[in-house]
Structure 1
Amino acid sequence: MIRLLVESGITDTTQHLPQNPQEATVRMSDNATHPTNAPLYPIREVSRLTGVNPVTLRAWERRYSLIRPQRTPKGHRLYASDDIERIEHILQWLNRGVPVSQVRELLDQPHVAETPDPIAGDWPSQRYQLVAAVESLDLSRLDALFNQCMALYPVETCLSELFKPLVDELEERWDSHLGAALQRRTLEAFLRTRTGTRLYHANLVNPGPVLLIGRLPEDQGMLWSLLIALAASQARYRVHFFDAPLPFSELPLAVERFKAAALLLCSGQAERADMIRRQLPRLADQLDVPVGLCGPVARIRQHDLQDSQVAILGDDPPKAITKLASLISA
């Protein structure tokens, strides 16, 4: 845990305890077993260290008893270093595809070597429910499923296990499906509202550089760019998101005016060959910041761009943002 203390920049942990002398006396929760002299962290600092938002941390505690922070007399949560280690273990299991309802049992068996078979309520079941909600245009059900996922799992897990597979499956169905346009626009409007709200609030506090995220000309909608924007915001970038494709001639101006550290362009389509092979590399040569290609177009057109300055980031949103980080810091 020395690594966590160094990365957090905290050398005197008492500065995060309440200043009121009465609050300084910590009341242990019934299940807490931390030493009284252990360093303690408020929930916002734990969120920063682990990448798990406070809403999710509270849900893990209340609904599944996965973590047991200490409490001050006024009820404020304080986490010890072993709580942070436990949260890291939870994330490891979730990233292996284990449903949150199974994680507590695994945490109590630290020597388990293999991931158990998923039970009902696992990712395939949740994906099926999401697809059904979109196809039936059941916005109430879609909202409940979205909120449940975002409350219980890290954003990266939601994107990789639910939202990207959802878009992949729906786009295959929409190729020859009556009512496809209605379903697509309904899902886009839903995700645009939820993502836009998150981006607005995150941009106020995120310390990272600015990213511009937009669509390529033939993309049929904004689903892929929304997923990429959500992943970038969770990685603490400040995101400027364009609903509609911008002319290539205006993208350099946008990068300059917004002081962007990178430009990400997304599409679920193959896009025109001349645009991919000529216009996009020319744009990348003009700019002093990385130009990244995201979504299925990156997989489809990677060979056309292998000798260009365009960064092929792939169609997995969290992995794409991870790849981008090395380009920005280079």
Structure 2
Amino acid sequence: MDNRYTVKQVSELTGVPSATLRAWERRYAVVDPERSPSRYRLYGDEDVSRLARMAEMVRRGAPASLAAAQVRVSTELGQVTTPRPPRPDEPLPDTRDLVLAARAYDQTLLTATLDEVLSRASFERAVAEWILPALTEVGLAWERGEVSVAGEHFVSAAVHRRLAVAFEAAGLNTGAPICVVGLPPGSLHALGAMCFAVCLKRQGIDVSFLGADVPVESWGHTLRVLQPAAAVISVPTPSDAPVVTDLVSTLTGAHPDVRVWAGGLYANQSRAEGLPASVVDAALLVATELLKR
């Protein structure tokens, strides 16, 4: 007899947040789970297999819509294989591979390395243990003159594309608490904030990501329009800290009901309510605080 799993159990089996699973079902019709007498979703083994295959393709960088279409077609043709889920202890590539790709503008190495990282690890592990450390390595190589500005931009753009795919794949999380994430005016290093935004969205929060160099008046306008539960401002460099201090003071004064955090390497210098240094831990903390309201 086919097993039956709740959405929480399927989330644990596939590594995909429950909110994302519901979004994939609603938007892409990749599965059609049964309903219990109490209207709870009940997934069968085949449903879990389809969702695991879709999750694997999304982790490799495929848009969720394309991954769902491929799963549907392969199922119709009887070409069903269940991907091996990533193991927590599986070794990841050397972070210096990203430096080599940046130095030589090697698209093949860059693509293969990112594919390998995202297929071997959950998104959260990939971010914490590889993507951010590897980007730091590229930055240090640029300081030493080993990598050009163009080379750094070459790899950053590729990482940005993968993060954008992951952000969209996490679903809309409509009805969940809203959190606005972005950088202060003049701040341009957005990849860390984007990693955090994806992690937070994967925790089931409705995230509005504003990106880099957001003027003070635009922050205020966004909070007035969206009326979010929280805002997180990234502080990636020391020069951003005083700007964030003033920005947080302005936002909390005008919007006392909005919880405002500062995150990033130099958040502790901003005199704002700080978050853990790890983007994964920071996202978990923010999601826990917002979902318990």
* Global fold match (TM > 0.5): yes
Contact 2:98 2:155 in 1 (8 A): no
> Any idea what SS the aligned residue of 1:292 has?
strand
> Any idea what SS the aligned residue of 2:152 has?
helix
**Displacement of 1:53:** 7.4
Contact 2:235 2:241 in 1 (8 A): no
Identity percentage of aligned residues: 15
**TM-score of the two chains, using structure 2 as the length reference:** 0.67
Q: How do residues 229-248 of structure 1 correspond to structure 2 at under 5 angstroms?
A: 229-248=197-216
What is the match of residue 173 of structure 1?
141
Aligned-residue CA RMSD (Å): 3.7
> Any idea what SS the aligned residue of 2:187 has?
coil
What is the match of residue 275 of structure 1?
243
CA deviation profile, 1:129-169 (whole Å, cap 9, x unmatched): 23322332222221222122223321011111111211222
Q: Distance in 2 between matches of 1:223 and 1:45?
A: 32
Q: Distance in 2 between matches of 1:312 and 1:47?
A: 40
1:290 to 254, 259, 283: 259
**Displacement of 1:265:** 1.5
Q: Which protein is bigger by CA-based radius of gyration?
A: 1
**Displacement of 1:293:** 1.6
Contact 2:184 2:243 in 1 (8 A): no
Contact 2:138 2:147 in 1 (8 A): no
> Any idea what SS the aligned residue of 1:315 has?
coil
1:311 to 273, 285, 290: 273
> Any unmatched runs of 5+ in structure 2?
11-31, 35-41, 60-74
Q: Distance in 2 between matches of 1:73 and 1:186?
A: 39
> Any unmatched runs of 5+ in structure 1?
10-14, 18-38, 60-70, 79-86, 100-121
Q: Distance in 2 between matches of 1:241 and 1:260?
A: 12
CA deviation profile, 1:176-222 (whole Å, cap 9, x unmatched): 43654223322232222222233234334676433322112343422
**Displacement of 1:74:** 5.3
> Any idea what SS the aligned residue of 1:219 has?
coil
> Any idea what SS the aligned residue of 1:159 has?
helix
**Displacement of 1:315:** 3.1
> Any idea what SS the aligned residue of 1:326 has?
helix
Distance 1:181 1:243, change over 3 A: farther
2:127 to 133, 142, 159: 159
Q: Which amino acid aligns with 2:276?
A: G
Query: How many pairs are equivalent?
Result: 243
Distance 1:133 1:178, change over 3 A: closer
**Displacement of 1:172:** 3.0
Q: Which amino acid aligns with 2:161?
A: T
Q: How do residues 227-266 of structure 1 correspond to structure 2 at under 5 angstroms?
A: 227-266=195-234
**Displacement of 1:57:** 9.2
**Displacement of 1:273:** 5.3
**TM-score of the two chains, using structure 1 as the length reference:** 0.60
